Structures are given as C-alpha cells and as structure tokens.
Structure 1
Amino acid sequence: MTIVKALGCAALLGVSAQGFAAAFEFDRPGTGFGTSTTPVGKLAWEQSLPSASYVKSGDETTTTLNADMLLRTGLTDSLELQVGWDGPAWSKTKVAGTSTENDGLGDINVGLKKSIDLQDEQLSFAVLAQAVIATGNDEFSAQDDLYRLGSSVAYQYNDDVNTSISMFYEWQDGDWAITAVPTLQYQIAGPWSGFSELVYRKQESQDNEYALGTGIMYSVNDRMQLDATVGVDLDGSARSYNAGLGVAFLF
C-alpha cells in the first residue's frame, strides 16, 4: 500500500477530524486536514497509538503496525509549521505458510499550512505545502521524495454538522497524482463526535483508487483529544483494511 492510500467513500481515516467539543481543531484523525492553524506560541502533538493495516492478496497476507506523529506550531495568526514522522513500524508477511517479519523507521515530512480568511462565519479555507523526505528504511519508505500541495474547504452547516473536502496534488519522481477527500463531521453527544469520509486517488498511468473511513473522537478537555478509526480500501482484488487509535495534545 502507498503512504497516501486511496480516498474512499465514507468512513475512516479520512479528512481532518475536528473535535467539536474542543476549542482547538486537531488534524487527526483522517486523510485530510482542517482549515485552522495552531496559535502562535502553542504546540500541537498528534500521535497514533498505533495504526494497523491488513492486506490479503491471493495466498499472501501482510500486517503492518506503525506509530506516526505530527507536530504543529503557529508562526503567525494564520500560518503554522508542521513536522511529521511516519514513526517506528513493524510488518509481517505470510506466503504459503512461510512468515517474514521486518521492522524499521518511516519517512519524515515537513509542511506549511496557511489559513485564509474568507470573511464568512460558516465557510473556511486553508492551503498546505508539504514535502515527504524519503529517509525511512526501504520496507517503510516512499523510496523517492514526494511533494504535495493541498487545499481544504469546510462549511459549518450548523452546531452539529460540518462538511469539508480536501484536495491533494502530488509529484513524485516525475509522476503526478490527485486525491480528493470529502468528509462529514458530526457531533454525537457531549464530548463525543465522529466523522465519515470517502477517499479517491488517481495516479498517472494507474487505476482509480477508493477507500472509506470512519471514526469517533472524545474531547477530554479543550487541549486533549482521543480517537479511534477504521477503514477499508475498495479497489482491486486484494482485501485491505486499516484501523487505529490516537491521541492529540495542545501545549
């Protein structure tokens, strides 16, 4: 599976999940990203605990665990710096009764997110410029550096429902790809909220890819959020599933 795996229909990792009960909007969980930025002088730490994926293709199965993280800090009132790491990872591949295990470290990514004021209380917009540096071990790396430009538009329908769509344009080793992530975020009860997303990805000279993701978030307080997600890839003959737990803090 690629690092930026498919955008699907409505359910897991997908787009930035905003904790409605929290005063600060975290970018996890999800495939997309939120439209707000970290306040100046504050640090957001978003950590998976970990994430897991399972892929079965014919008589081959692969299980992967990784603990990715993202650090965000405000540079100005509308601009933030992001530094991420795919973290430590472990995988087990089984073919015809024979198992092979690998472990190592993932890639590093650096980005800038800019929130743009649209002078609208319900509509918000942000752009993201990001570079993924292929510093990880071979089994857990993108192999070549990847450059990504993203945009996110969100519409706050009411106090309980928020809709958004994130778009990503990527370039890696001469190949282009586009990803779209429409997301629905909703208040459940009290500190509980949830999201559902569809992920669509099209890479040059490759077939379309689709995925669905959904999850729930629990706002412990204004500065801490817990999350749980699950998702499935819908393309190809292989069966592919993913799930994860996560925590986010604002310091």
Structure 2
Amino acid sequence: MPSFVATHRGRRPQLHRRGDALLRGALLLAATTGTAGVACAEDAPAFDRPGIGFASTTLQRGQLAWEQAFFDGSYDRDGDVRSTEYVANSRLRFGLSARTELQLAIDSQVWQRVRGGGQDQRGHSGGDASIGLKQALPSASDRVSWALLGSASLPVGRAPYGDAGHRYDLGVSAGWDLPEGRSLTLYGNVSDSEDGSGWSISPSYTFYAGDTLSAYVEAGIGGGEDEMRALGSGVTWLFANRVQLDLSVLRGLSSQTPDWQGGLGISVLLR
C-alpha cells in the first residue's frame, strides 16, 4: 500500500524526491516501453500505492512495475498563512529474485505555493530521489505476509523543492488475509536524517475487495522528525490485471500534520 506520508509543518512531506538525468531517462523509458512488456504475469502484484505504508509482498523475479503519481498533494493552514504542495512522484520496482526487489523513486516535479500574511510565493522545480531494497520474509501461513524495506534519499534537488539532506528509512509491513477478500495491514518505520530521528506506525484495513474495486481505511501516528496524527481512506480500481488507478485522502489531526493530504495515481505491471 502506500505512497504519501503525513509530516509536520516546516518540513516537506515525505513524498519521495528528484534524481539525475540517468534516473529520469530510466523512468521515461519504462513509461514509454511499458506497453510492449505488459504481458507476462497472470496477476498484478500488490502495488505500494496508495497509502502511508507499503505492500507486504514483493515482485517476482524479472517483474517490473511503474508507479506514478499524477499528484500527491498537501494543504495546510496556519493562521492566515495557507501552504499548498503538489508532487509528481515516479517509482520503478524491479524484481531481483522471488523475495527481493529494487526500488528507484524520483520527485520529477514539485509545485509549492504559500499565501497569506502579506506574502504570495509560488514556484516549482525537481525534487529529490531515493533508492531502496525490499525483502519479503518467510511466513508459516499462506494468509500472512510481511516484508522489510530499507531506503536512502538522494538529495539532488534544489531547495526548497528538494535538497532535504540525507535520510535513511527502515520499514516493515505485515499483512493478514481475512475472509471475503478483506485484509489487515500493519506498517512501522524508523528514520534517521541530518535533522534527527523519527518513527511512524500505521494500521490499515481493506473493508471491501471486489474483482476490480477495493477500498480501505487507515490511521497514522508518528514522533520525532516524523511527527504526525492522521486518519484517511482510499480506493483502487484494477483493470487488465496489471493496471491500477488509485485515489486517497488523509485528514491531519494535529498542528504538526498538514490539514489535508491526498493522492491520485496509476500503477502498471510492465512485465
């Protein structure tokens, strides 16, 4: 599951960030050649979009998935000052083995606007990038899955849209399959950055899962540099067994969390 993460005021949302020309080229190549390679797998993987956490399974060896945010956005009001941000995040997932995958992510564009209090500032640029390795762990039950994801940010963007410094994350996601297609997922993450350390926990519950449509609710709580309190929900629509559209929203419940966050995106199993 997830893609956008609630954060506190004064700090860019953890929506993942901009890379160099080679990474941009890889993302563009995957997007434009995806139709030719879209044909091999019988079932779509559990995509990491949308939500706070990530899927508790990995791609199979040789599979390639592209997850693209049309936008991941946040809105926050602090007195008379209103802040808005939209991020176009791209993520490539490569299946290295039956239980291991490599992830490359980039915020290709970041748009920001701050209004009120005598100011009206806006701008956009590329953000930062990240690289991660995801490992599915053994389970004694077919109805239980869990995975670890370690990632490091690549601060190659231009401030204030990127260049947030180095950050390292280690997350775990555990999923339980329930009757009638429902499921429960518990996600936890610890982070370390130049600004300090943080932690976050998020349970989510998929209360409806049809052949193509599914819907879930989630909550998020965090501390330190990842301070957050939020509740949210989302829906996904799967078609052709390998293309998924998603729509999600989070409502901030503390002064350190943006008032609203939301995302609209697409995920494609390229091969």
Select 1:82's aligned residue among 94, 103, 109: 103
Alignment length (residue pairs):
234
Query: Corresponding residue for 2:6?
Result: 5
Select 2:45's aligned residue among 15, 24, 35: 24
Answer 1 or 2: which has greater helix percent: 2
Query: Corresponding residue for 1:171?
Result: 192
Task: Normalising by structure 2, report the TM-score.
Answer: 0.80
Contact 1:25 1:34 in 2 (8 A): yes
Bigger mean CA deviation after superposition, 239-248 or 100-109: 239-248
Higher relative contact order (CA 8 A, sep 6+): 1
Unaligned runs of 5+ in 1: 8-21
- Supply the AA of the counterpart residue of 2:138: D
Residue 151 of structure 1 and its aligned partner are, at CA, apart by 0.7
Query: Corresponding residue for 2:131?
Result: 110
Contact 1:36 1:115 in 2 (8 A): yes
Residue 98 of structure 1 and its aligned partner are, at CA, apart by 3.5
Which secondary structure state, in structure 2, belongs to the residue aligned with residue 86 of structure 1? strand
Does 1:214 pair with 2:233? yes
Residue 142 of structure 1 and its aligned partner are, at CA, apart by 5.7
Task: Normalising by structure 1, report the TM-score.
Answer: 0.86
The separation in 1 between residues aligned to 2:256 and 2:201, in whole angstroms, is 22
The separation in 1 between residues aligned to 2:230 and 2:107, in whole angstroms, is 20
Query: Corresponding residue for 1:13?
Result: none
- Supply the AA of the counterpart residue of 2:168: Y
Contact 1:213 1:230 in 2 (8 A): yes
Select 2:221's aligned residue among 176, 200, 213: 200
Which secondary structure state, in structure 2, belongs to the residue aligned with residue 150 of structure 1? strand
- Summarize deviations over 1:5-51 as a string: whole Å, max 9, x none: 259xxxxxxxxxxxxxx642101001101111112222100001112
* Large movers: runs of 4+ above 6 Å: none
Which secondary structure state, in structure 2, belongs to the residue aligned with residue 159 of structure 1? helix
- Supply the AA of the counterpart residue of 1:48: A
Residue 87 of structure 1 and its aligned partner are, at CA, apart by 2.3
Does 1:42 pair with 2:42? no
How large is the RMSD of aligned CA atoms in angstroms? 2.2
Unaligned runs of 5+ in 2: 9-42
The separation in 1 between residues aligned to 2:193 and 2:257, in whole angstroms, is 24
